[in-house]
Chain A
Amino acid sequence: MNETVHDENVGKWTMVIDLDQCTGCQACVTACSMENNVAFVGEADAAYGRGMHWIRVVREWNGEMPDLTADFRPVMCQQCGEAPCEPVCPVFASTKSVPEQINLQVYNRCIGTRYCGNNCPYIARTFNWFDYERPEPLNFQLNPDVTVRSRGVMEKCTFCVQRIRRGEEDANAEGRPVHDGDVTPACAQACPAQAITFGDITDPESRVAKLARSARAERFLEEVGTEPRVIYLKGNGKVVREG
């Protein structure tokens, strides 16, 4: 992996996604939508490109027609160290959360210029075009830990910041540091192939730190200079030799 990330952008919370293990089953998409109160926009709007999913399984086609094979790459907000969405927001709604070292969206500060959405190279942001209804009994599944967004604001993956805070508070209450595995975002929890691993990369013994040392590790669209905090392990034997 290209070790050009600035020290202050190493961050703490890191996600590693093994593309060899991803089957493209979309369980992460579903789990994320349940956990984070992501709105259902209906068939017509979803077909027009207004689906609100915070994570999506991107298909990457290999080969020429008709001999095509698909690789799957779950893509969500990459929690960039040099996030392109942050400087362009006129009201600081897209901002760095210092304690978690991740990028958060302040919903009640957002005025809906959507500049961040244009500037995100990962197309990770979604916009509340309308107030979407949750007909009964769907309203009962709303997660009380997560804000329900109103129309006119941007939203995106938060690395399940409510679970990070829960993990930290539980560990605090027990008077111990946060152990590896205490915090699991919804997508990682739901992944049947265990392709998604989440943890603290500053702890050299954590699972993510070990996986990040793999020769298969890469960051997505690294050439844009965003210094993302999500690490992908290349699939299909596309291994980069170290050194």
Chain B
Amino acid sequence: MTAEAKPMALPHTSEEEDPREHLMHDPLPREKMNNMVMEAMTTAPLEYKIVVGILALLVGVCLFGAWGYMTMTGIGLAGVRRPVFWGFFISTFVFWIGISHAGTFVSAILRVFKAEFRRPFTRAAELMTTFGLAAGAMYPLIHLGRVWVFYFMVPYPNQRGLWPNFRSPLVWDFIAITTYLLGSTMYLFMPLLPDLAMARDHSTGWRKFLYRILSLGWRGSETEWRHLRTAIKIFAWAIIPVMFSVHTIVSWDFAVSTTIGWHSTIFGPFFVAGAIFSGVSAVVMVLFIVRSSMVNMKYFIRPEHFDALGKLVLIFSMGWLYFYFNEYMVEWYGGDATSKEVWHYITQGPLSWLWLLMLVCNIAIPWLTLWNKKIRRTPWAMFIITFLVNVGMYIERYLLIPGELARNRIPFDWGDYAPRIEPIIAVGSISLFLLLYAIMSRVIPLIPVWEVQEGQMAHAMKRVGKAKVPVVTETE
């Protein structure tokens, strides 16, 4: 009967939980936070410099060196062959475009839905969008047979009167990715303005010069804030359909073809679900690295954030599985003989170990671990889980492209694909992403201080009867 005497347990105030665990209920003065972020940005220990040096070397050798060599010699250095005309390169392209969805998802969607936990890491996620796109957008060029005439794809007026073929999904891709890159870069820049102005006021030397130019004369007047908030709101709403369209259009590269296994109407939402799944997982990985390698970050990025992102990863794992199951369901119901061969090749052929590994990484591991709040709140465990999710999502793209191309309607022309130079270039592009991220983490304030402060001002604890309840004031 003692249980009845207790006050009703509210979700945020269970006995063992201190509200100060939440960043929003653990406020610090603005100046203190400014100094913490500035310190994180300007601290570059020797380990950081060594890592940047190694990454720069990898980018130089593995990406530009290998790509240059391939351009001089021929795309035959890659493992592609007839009938598998696309391989590792396009898989990696789809992977990076997927990663780039994280930023917009975390920043724009969580912003318009007013998910408060997003505040400290919106910028870290938006940077992933920009650099993920930068790494991904190189692949359509890398895989071209004649990259030196890539501009034939650009609609430019020319004496031959030739335009690109607007019926081709590759032209849609080109336009969609360019739109997304420009849109997301502007969306990254706008919330950055007040923080750049803060950095300008807290630095000297070349940094002051740089931030003075970048902050566009921001002074923090009421008019400026009003304009900025309106612009962010417009952009947040506008970038969401762009985000959904980009991966849908990437999926149409496959869905509009006649190739068995690709020819599917489910591909749009299937790709978007997969992209957000891998993207949110990548945000967790980046947050873990940022938290453990930069000073003062343990204050801003807390177990509660890993907890919230872990829930998202779990949900998107289920969403992805739904579409994945659906795709095979439809193919099975269609009963096409070639579809059965493709399905057989992937599940029981030489790639079946990859298929099983994908199921383990994408379904078994998140489902078995992410239900547990303790695991979700352990950053290193979350890093391992999300790393495996990304391995699984990479395998999914690999099975989808060279895997499904290996089997077709003419058994005489079946052929297995084995990558050759591709993994080296993939290492190079991963290094490019990490290098850009590592450099930018020391050039721009990685934590949007004004957003964190705004959140902290809006949050308070209110006494309701005997219980203390967290409350949020609407600020916008």
Contact = CB atoms under 8 A, between A and B. Distances in A.
Q: Does B associate with A?
A: yes
Interface of A: 45, 48-51, 56, 58-60, 75, 84, 87-92, 109-115, 117-119, 121-123, 125-131, 151-154, 221, 224, 226
B171 to A, nearest CB: 5
A122 B259 CA distance: 11
Nearest to B87: A114
B82 A126 contact: yes
Contacts of A117: 82-83, 85
Given A58-B413, A91-B165, A126-B82, A119 B152 contact: no
B144 A111 contact: yes
B94 to A, nearest CB: 14
B170 A118 contact: no
Contacts of B149: 111
18 contacts: A45-B76, A48-B81, A49-B84, A50-B82, A58-B410, A89-B165, A109-B162, A112-B75, A112-B144, A112-B146, A114-B86, A114-B143, A115-B169, A123-B410, A127-B80, A152-B144, A154-B145, A226-B258
Contacts of A111: 144-147, 149-150, 152-153
Contacts of B75: 112, 127, 129, 151-152
Chain B: number of interface residues, binned into ranges: 35 or more
B418 to A, nearest CB: 9
B258 A84 contact: yes
Contacts of B475: none
A118 B405 contact: yes
Contacts of B167: 87-88
Contacts of B408: 121, 123
Contacts, number: 136
Interface string B244-265: 0000000001001111000000
B333 interface: no
User: Which of the listed residues B258, B259, B413 has the most CB atoms from chain A within 10 Å of its own CB?
Assistant: B258
Interface string B400-428: 00000100111111010000000000000
B174 interface: yes
Interface in B139-168: 140, 143-147, 149-150, 152-153, 162, 164-165, 167-168
B153 to A, nearest CB: 5
A77 to B, nearest CB: 13
B141 to A, nearest CB: 10
A39 B271 CA distance: 39
Interface string B121-152: 00000000000000000001001111101101
B372 to A, nearest CB: 43
User: Which of the listed residues A51, A91, A109, A131 has the most CB atoms from chain B within 10 Å of its own CB?
Assistant: A91
A112 B152 CA distance: 11
Contacts of B169: 88, 115
Contacts of B150: 111
Interface string B174-214: 10000000000000000000000000000000000000000
Contact of A112 (B145, B253, B412, B415): B145
B415 A151 contact: no
Contacts of B140: 113
B341 to A, nearest CB: 14
Nearest to B254: A118
B2 interface: no
A129 B162 contact: no
B165 A113 contact: no
B73 interface: yes
A49 B415 contact: yes
Contacts of A127: 75, 80, 82, 85, 145
B74 A88 contact: no
Interface in B92-138: none
A204 B76 CA distance: 46
B140 to A, nearest CB: 8
Interface in B249-290: 253, 256-259
Contacts of B147: 111
B168 A89 contact: yes
A210 to B, nearest CB: 28
B76 A129 contact: yes
Contacts of A153: 145-146
A88 B145 contact: no
B280 to A, nearest CB: 30
B413 A131 contact: no
Contacts of B253: 115
Nearest to A114: B85
A121 B407 CA distance: 11
Nearest to B418: A48
Contacts of B412: 56, 58-60
B411 to A, nearest CB: 8
B152 A91 contact: yes
Contact of B81 (A50, A128, A152): A50
Contacts of B152: 90-91, 109, 111
B168 A49 contact: no
Contacts of A119: 257-259
A125 B84 CA distance: 11
Nearest to B141: A111
User: Which of the listed residues B75, B153, B164, B415 has the most CB atoms from chain A within 10 Å of its own CB?
Assistant: B75
Contacts of A92: 162, 164-165
A129 B420 CA distance: 13
Contact of B256 (A88, A151, A154): A88
User: Which of the listed residues A92, A113, A125, A129 has the most CB atoms from chain B within 10 Å of its own CB?
Assistant: A113
